[in-house]
């Protein structure tokens, strides 16, 4: 288990669609009742170069417990720092020790860049 490495508690926001009454749907993010513990890795220089070469939206690897209910397009929010990531992919390695979410940092207008 990697539980002792998970040092950040993140709120989990999940997209939910509802009918808009006009034949379409409206999607909003809904706060989920359970938080998730995570380890957010900063991208290495190699990760950044590979992402730039492949036009990837993946900026951070976020490690989670193996039973964490995190899905593609969920958003993870660190309330202590205000940083928010959108999950692009969830990877379950052959080992059941952890799950890894490849995520994109979402910056609000006027927010300084984050490495």
- 79-90 pLDDT, tens digit each: 999 999 999 999
State the total domains in the chain. Answer: 1
Within a domain: residue 65?
yes
Within a domain: residue 43?
yes
Within a domain: residue 112?
no
Say yes or no to pLDDT of 78 above 70: yes
Within a domain: residue 58?
yes
Using alpha carbons, list the distances in angstroms from residue 76 to 14, 19, 80, 89, 95: 9, 25, 12, 13, 23
Q: What is the pTM of this model?
A: 0.82
Q: What would the mean pLDDT of 67-78 be, rounded to a whole number?
A: 96
Within a domain: residue 73?
yes
| pLDDT score, position 44 | 76
Within a domain: residue 115?
no
Within a domain: residue 11?
yes
**Domain CATH number, residue 73:** 2.40.10.270
Say yes or no to pLDDT of 101 above 60: yes
Residue 51 domain boundaries: 3-18+28-106
- Cβ proximity of 6 and 39 under 8 Å: yes
Site of tokens 């490849």: 102
Mean pLDDT (the chain, rounded): 87
Q: Please, which pLDDT band fits residue 28 given cuts at 50, 70 and 90? A: very high
Could you please report the per-residue DSSP string of the chain? --GGG--EEEEEEEEEEEE-SSSSEEEEEEE-SS-EEEEEEPPPHHHHHHHHHHT----EEEEE-TT----TT-EEE-TTT--EEEEEEEE--SSTT-EEEEEEEE--TTPPP--
Pairing of strands 25-31, 84-91: unpaired
pLDDT digits (tens, 9 = 90+) for 36-59: 999 998 877 777 777 777 777 778
């Amino acid at each position: 288990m990697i539980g002792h490495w998970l040092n950040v508690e993140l709120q989990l926001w999940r997209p939910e669609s509802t009918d808009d009454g006009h034949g379409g749907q409206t999607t909003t993010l809904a706060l989920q009742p359970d938080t998730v513990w995570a380890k957010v890795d900063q991208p290495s220089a190699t990760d950044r170069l590979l992402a730039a070469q492949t036009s990837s939206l993946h900026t951070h690897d976020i490690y989670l417990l193996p039973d964490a209910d995190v899905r593609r397009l969920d958003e993870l929010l660190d309330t202590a720092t205000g940083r928010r990531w959108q999950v692009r992919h969830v990877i379950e390695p052959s080992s059941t020790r952890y799950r890894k979410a490849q995520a994109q940092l979402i910056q609000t207008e006027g927010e300084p860049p984050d490495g």
